[in-house]
């Protein structure tokens, strides 16, 4: 969807117009008759979030009411959701161009509406023969938002689309070697990101026991990708390490998933896709923050010489792990990646992973399960910006007493608590074992992929977490004071 700045001539309209109406002052510039204004006021009194439509055949004037007096985060989220509802109407009417304007609105309100419109307009339809008619062009009245601010957001929104494409792509077209190649090409295209791709032999020489074990059942080789964005004007001397789970497809391994639990498991690499995208977004917009990303990639299959329950793995850092469940594979590849990232002496480690079904059962599909170790200040900032962009965190306890549930009689630790108590927390505690720097764990299992339409995120890959991380990078300097 193209968004450009321009002028709107109500006497020469070639498409419909959307007018954002946040307070009564705005009515002065509405191109409406007295009786239409009276009707609009009555609808506004009934519902401050209503969409009112006036026919100007063959086009329409849409007036989107919203309450500018609400707390900013609530008001902006309502605008995103309102945009998603409008987008469905535009699709039904096969509208491909829309003018957007408003009076008495602030840039943040307009940007939120455009953000919701852009994200709701996304479709993964490359394999469909009959495609929907989608919105292709938006003209925003030029006095509302500065071009530089719009351009920054457009780059972020395009990055969101690419992230969603990656997660939506079936594994038959996007396995670990292919995904690593795509990320390497993306880094080369940007020019300010260094990319290192480690193949099977390198992983064997590094003795990454977790990643190699999970890969044993697959016909495709594993990959470990390391990205580095190190701008000259960086505010942090040591990097923030972003670690993302890259299970390209998860069958459960020998503990194979039953029923329909294997459906949508192409999305089990959303953590790696999110962390690569977060770093690329920062690099594209040249944020002054030093980032590295560590992305272990493989699928989890029951074939060949697949690893099995009762196996004991020796991880990259030397820790031995007794396998109790091969469907708890994500934490194994993440553990090696976290241990490797830890050796780079970062000032903070953040991981993102579609890690546990327990997170979905406990918290639903609108919040990230979050935990932290020795990272109070950045975790508080992440909470603040999460509330601002409405990609929020639910903080879970992370006490060391939970480690009791990971004790093994024959190895250092087990990979999964067989009694399923505190499943989300113990998965995080397993990973914390490998982090010796400030550490934040984000379980995005409930929010990374939606099987039915969810607000402006739509169906399929959501990109939930990317806007959160980008806002965190923008404000990270607060952690340095």
At 164-175, the pLDDT tens digits run 999 999 999 999
Residue 8: is its pLDDT beyond 90? Answer: no
The region, left, alpha or beta by phi > 0 then psi within -120 to 50, assigned to residue 281 is: alpha
- Say which residues have a Cβ less than 8 Å from residue 399's Cβ, sequence separation at least 6: none
- Beta strand residue intervals within 7-119, DSSP E: 16-21, 51-56, 59-65, 97-102
Look up 155 and say whether it is catalytic: no
Tell me the longest C-alpha to C-alpha distance in the chain: 81
> How confident is the model at residue 25, as a pLDDT?
65
Residues 338/349, Cβ–Cβ less than 8 Å: yes
- 481 Cα distance to chain centroid: 28
C-alpha atoms less than 13 angstroms from C-alpha of 450 in its C-beta half-sphere: 18
Dihedral sign from CA coordinates of 84, 74, 390, 266: negative
Q: What pTM, to 2 d.p., does this model score? A: 0.96
State the architecture of 156-480 in CATH terms: 3-Layer(aba) Sandwich (3.40)
> How confident is the model at residue 70, as a pLDDT?
92
2-147 against 156-480: fold identical: no
pLDDT confidence bin for 459, thresholds 50/70/90: very high
Tallying the residues shown for the chain, one arrives at: 481
Q: Which of 164, 216, 266, 331 is catalytic?
A: 331
At 105-159, the pLDDT tens digits run 899 999 999 999 999 999 999 999 999 999 999 999 988 999 999 999 999 999 9
> How confident is the model at residue 202, as a pLDDT?
98
> How confident is the model at residue 13, as a pLDDT?
83
Residue 353: is its pLDDT beyond 80? Answer: yes
- Looking only at the bridges linking them, the beta strands covering 458-461 and 449-454 are antiparallel
Cα–Cα distance list, 85 to 117, 120, 164 (Å): 9, 8, 20
At 469-481, the pLDDT tens digits run 999 999 999 887 7
Give the residue extent of every domain in the chain.
2-147, 156-480
Residue 243: is its pLDDT beyond 90? Answer: yes
Residues 222/305, Cβ–Cβ less than 8 Å: no
Look up 331 and say whether it is catalytic: yes
Tokens representing 417 are 């608590």
Q: Which of 257, 377, 392, 455 is catalytic?
A: 257
At 187-212, the pLDDT tens digits run 999 999 999 999 999 999 999 999 99
Q: What is the tally of helices (H) and strands (E) in the chain?
A: 13, 20
> How confident is the model at residue 26, as a pLDDT?
65
2-147 — its CATH code? 3.40.220.10
């Amino acid at each position: 969807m193209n968004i450009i700045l321009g002028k709107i001539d109500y006497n020469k309209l070639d498409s419909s117009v959307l007018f954002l109406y946040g307070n009564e002052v705005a009515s002065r510039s509405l191109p409406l008759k007295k009786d239409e204004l009276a009707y609009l006021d009555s609808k506004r009194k009934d519902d401050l979030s209503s969409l009112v439509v006036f026919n100007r055949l063959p086009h329409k004037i849409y007036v989107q009411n919203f309450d500018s007096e609400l707390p900013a985060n609530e008001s902006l989220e309502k605008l995103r959701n309102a945009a998603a509802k409008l987008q469905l109407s535009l699709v039904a009417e096969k509208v491909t161009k829309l003018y957007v304007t408003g009076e008495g609105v602030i840039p943040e309100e307009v940007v939120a509406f455009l953000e919701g419109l852009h994200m709701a307009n996304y479709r993964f339809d490359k394999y469909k023969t009959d495609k929907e008619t989608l919105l292709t062009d938006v003209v925003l009245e030029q006095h509302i938002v500065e071009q530089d601010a719009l351009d920054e957001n457009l780059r972020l929104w395009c990055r969101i689309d690419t992230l969603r494409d990656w997660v939506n792509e079936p594994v038959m077209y996007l396995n670990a070697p292919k995904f690593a190649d795509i990320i390497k090409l993306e880094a080369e295209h940007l020019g300010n990101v260094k990319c290192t791709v480690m193949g099977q032999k390198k992983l064997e020489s590094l003795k990454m026991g977790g990643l190699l074990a999970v890969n044993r059942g697959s016909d495709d080789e594993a990959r470990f990708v390391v990205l580095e964005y190190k701008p000259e004007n960086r505010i942090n001397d040591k990097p923030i390490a972003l670690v993302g789970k890259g299970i390209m497809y998860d069958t459960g391994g020998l503990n194979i998933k039953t029923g329909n639990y294997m459906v949508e498991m192409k999305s089990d690499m959303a953590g790696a896709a999110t962390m690569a995208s977060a770093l690329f977004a920062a690099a594209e917009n040249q944020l002054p923050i030093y980032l590295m990303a560590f992305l272990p990639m493989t699928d989890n299959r029951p074939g060949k010489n697949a690893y099995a329950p009762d196996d004991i793995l020796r991880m990259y850092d030397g820790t031995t792990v007794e396998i109790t469940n091969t469907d708890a594979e994500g934490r194994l590849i993440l553990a090696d990646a976290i241990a490797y990232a830890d050796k780079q002496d970062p000032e903070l480690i953040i991981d993102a992973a579609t890690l546990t079904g327990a997170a979905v059962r406990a918290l639903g599909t609108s919040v990230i399960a979050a935990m932290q170790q020795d990272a109070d200040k950045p975790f508080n900032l992440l909470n603040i910006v999460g509330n601002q962009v409405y990609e929020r965190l639910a903080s879970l306890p992370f006490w060391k007493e939970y480690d009791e549930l990971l004790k093994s009689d024959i190895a250092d630790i087990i990979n999964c608590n067989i009694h399923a108590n505190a499943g989300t927390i113990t998965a995080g505690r397993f990973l914390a074992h490998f982090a010796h720097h400030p550490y934040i764990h984000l379980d995005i299992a409930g929010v990374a992929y939606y099987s039915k339409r969810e607000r402006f995120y739509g169906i399929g890959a959501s990109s939930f977490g990317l806007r959160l991380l980008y806002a965190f990078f923008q404000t990270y300097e607060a952690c340095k004071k």
